[in-house]
Chain A
């Protein structure tokens, strides 16, 4: 294990999943308050056909090209969800369910075809399903790192604008905020974080990197800023630990380990969370009950005293 830690490639991979986890955690908070957690799942599944088509067209496993393919396909998915929702009676959650499964099915089908053709087997395209961070080369790591830092910057610089946009979009528009720009930017960073994440985590589990850190952070704080910071820490931590564990065995997929790591964080938050954790709630209820009983018994005593007083 120490050996693998010392290898410079592993260090870069660890750094990139750490930063990716932070970026995903931050964007996850935006998606959480836009009530679009499921949207991130639909978009990551919708990215798969784009990845495969980009590979089939160029014949090379260039990460940037694949990211472009993934982004195009995820955006088409997003647009179709929007289109189904507005032009039919089908509700958004149903539309997302449809797009998610149709695109993923299409992706797997294309993947099978590409894998059958010569060279396909060596392409490592399967890694896009469950993720294989250890297989990334230095150039991929740099691409991922730069894009993740970009996403973090977009959220940090416009922090107060994001808060207003998420809390009260109508009021934001009244103040002159360009809501179309904000929506586009939001969709842009969401898709970006998904497509850079899928090589490390895979399309199936990418949504977990967005959703789990955000909901875990919600249990600890009542400030939006702290929620975003904590979510970034949780996401980064889970990304780091999950990747570290997955490098210990040959061919271990990264995505599942990251998800397990963040689920541990979630369970801890659910029970011990300072704001809405189960334990703190139980303790509060107990102390309130005790107080209630104390006040109640005092009232009984005092009423008895006064009764006695009036009897005499």
Chain B
């Protein structure tokens, strides 16, 4: 094979297997929360993970990232294991998962996203700082760089988290409810960023709670309720029937088709 065709072949393989999950099972305390979850995600897609409370959305992210133990199953990133591809995977935890009273400023939090690149036990230099500033600027937070994180609004805190993920320059991002409880300006800033990521060929999976915006924001949907109800392009999957199936009787609202 010529060199070019090898690269082509590589590209096709990459496109197929940015993320592939097979028969994933996990439990939380005594309850089984994930049951035979299987799906695969193609490169450049913007997928929302949608499902009722307790459907295992956050747990799915945590299990895939090996932050929560799995019972069985297999997860592969870029056709390889997580430990070998860690620098290519970015994670935005739920805003409520950290203590915002921690004494530090916005720039410092964004710098944390660079610790992998800086290297353990090494000090970040000027270029790292510039990168972090650029990332804050991208999220419209440049003016808040030296603001105490406890003094930021919820939406601003979320943007700091996004900036920290951007600075990692990963290829695949997982975000846990980045749009929950944020103001309109933050929602716009985050959605612009997600679309930019997609344009740059990055892959993003977002746990999302607002059914009304799914169709506008995401090109793929993963309907989850302990197991995969449906997964695919938004127009194919996000139908009234499927969403009802995912939510069971607990769905109060659904946009008329």
Contacts and interface: CB of A to CB of B under 8 A. Distances in A.
Contact of B121 (A161, A171, A224, A226): A161
Interface residues of B, number: 30
A181 to B, nearest CB: 11
Interface string A205-225: 000000000000010011110
Given A161-B121, A164-B112, A171-B91, A218 B103 contact: yes
Contacts of A163: 104, 112
A173 interface: yes
B98 interface: yes
Contacts of B65: 173-174
B115 interface: yes
A160 B97 contact: no
A227 interface: yes
B86 A171 contact: no
A176 interface: yes
A115 B20 CA distance: 66
Contacts of A33: 99, 102
B257 interface: no
B123 A160 contact: yes
A33 B99 CA distance: 9
Given A174-B86, A174-B89, A222 B121 contact: no
Interface string A116-129: 00000000000000
B116 A175 contact: yes
Interface in A158-194: 158, 160-161, 163-164, 166-168, 170-177
Contacts of A161: 115, 120-121
Contacts of A158: 120-121
Contact of B86 (A157, A176, A227): A176
Contact of A227 (B103, B105, B116): B103
B86 A167 contact: no
Interface in B31-61: none
A167 B91 contact: no
A79 B150 CA distance: 34
B93 A166 contact: no
Contacts of A176: 83, 86-87, 116
Contacts of B83: 176
Interface in A133-165: 157-158, 160-161, 163-164
Interface in A220-278: 221-224, 226-227
Interface in B68-112: 83, 86-87, 89-91, 93, 97-99, 102-105, 109, 112
Contacts of B103: 218, 221-224, 226-227
Given A160-B123, A168-B97, A170-B93, A224 B67 contact: no
Nearest to B168: A175
Interface-central residue, B105, B115, B148, by most chain A CB under 10 Å: B115
Contacts of A174: 65, 67, 86, 89-91
A28 B115 CA distance: 24
B5 to A, nearest CB: 34
Interface string B104-132: 11000100100110101101100000000
Contacts of A171: 91, 93, 112, 164
> How extensive is the interface on chain A, given as a class?
20 to 34
A175 B2 CA distance: 36
Interface-central residue, A157, A167, A177, A223, by most chain B CB under 10 Å: A167
Contacts of B164: 171
A5 to B, nearest CB: 37
Contacts of B118: 160
Contacts of B112: 163-164, 167-168, 171
B98 to A, nearest CB: 5
Given A161-B121, A173-B67, A224 B102 contact: yes
Given A158-B121, A170-B97, A175 B102 contact: no
A122 B90 CA distance: 61
A223 to B, nearest CB: 6
Nearest to A161: B120
Contacts of A173: 65-67
Contacts of A168: 93, 97-98, 112
A227 B102 CA distance: 11
Contacts of B62: 170
A201 to B, nearest CB: 27
Given A164-B112, A168-B97, A175-B116, A224 B104 contact: yes
Nearest to B102: A167
A112 B105 CA distance: 53
Nearest to B122: A160
Contact of B104 (A157, A167, A175, A177): A167
Given A171-B164, A175-B86, A176-B116, 4 more contacts: A161-B115, A167-B104, A173-B67, A177-B115
3 nearest A-B residue pairs (beta carbon) = A174-B91, A175-B116, A176-B86
5 contacts: A33-B102, A163-B112, A174-B65, A176-B86, A222-B103
Interface of B: 62, 65-67, 83, 86-87, 89-91, 93, 97-99, 102-105, 109, 112, 115-116, 118, 120-121, 123-124, 148, 150, 164
